Every structure is written in structure tokens, then in C-alpha cells.
Amino acid sequence: MDDRWPVWKLAILLYVFAAAAVAINLFMLSLMLQAIGCAALSPATALALAVPLGVPAAWAAGRWVRHLLDEAQ
């Protein structure tokens, strides 16, 4: 019996953290882009954009954690 956590379960568990990291990074990127004349994103817009973009970030985090767990065994 395989007692390993699958990547999709890890991704669901890590989604909130990944989406929050994406939101922070989007907001900070928009602030840096003001130097070249772009408008800054509001925090609410950054959060709204982070909801769908958090899915691939959570999947990548889940794969990374799965690799670390495999390596630890």
C-alpha cells in the first residue's frame, strides 16, 4: 500500500499559501513597473488575479514538496 501523499492533495493544501505569494508578487511587480510609467495594481486587483494564477503555483509547490518528501525517505 502506497502511503505517499499525491501531488494534487499537496497542491490543494498549499493553494492558499501559493495564491497569497502570487498576490504579493503581482502587487510588488506593479509597484516596480511604475518606474517605467505603468499603473499600479490595487491590492484587491492583485488578489483577484492571484485566484486563477495560484493554481499552477500551488501545483508547482505540491510537486516540489512531493520531491522533498521522496528525497527524505
Measured in residues, the chain has a length of 73
Query: What pTM does this model have?
Result: 0.87
Q: Which amino acid is at 59?
A: W
> Using CA atoms, how far apart are residues 2 and 17, in angstroms rounded to an integer?
27
Collect all residues with Cβ–Cβ distance below 8 Å to 59 and sequence separation of at least 6.
Answer: 7, 11
CB atoms within 10 A of CB 35: 7
> Using CA atoms, how far apart are residues 14 and 32, in angstroms rounded to an integer?
27
Per-residue confidence in pLDDT tens, the chain, 73 aa: 578 889 999 999 999 999 999 999 999 999 999 999 999 999 999 999 999 999 999 999 999 999 999 999 8
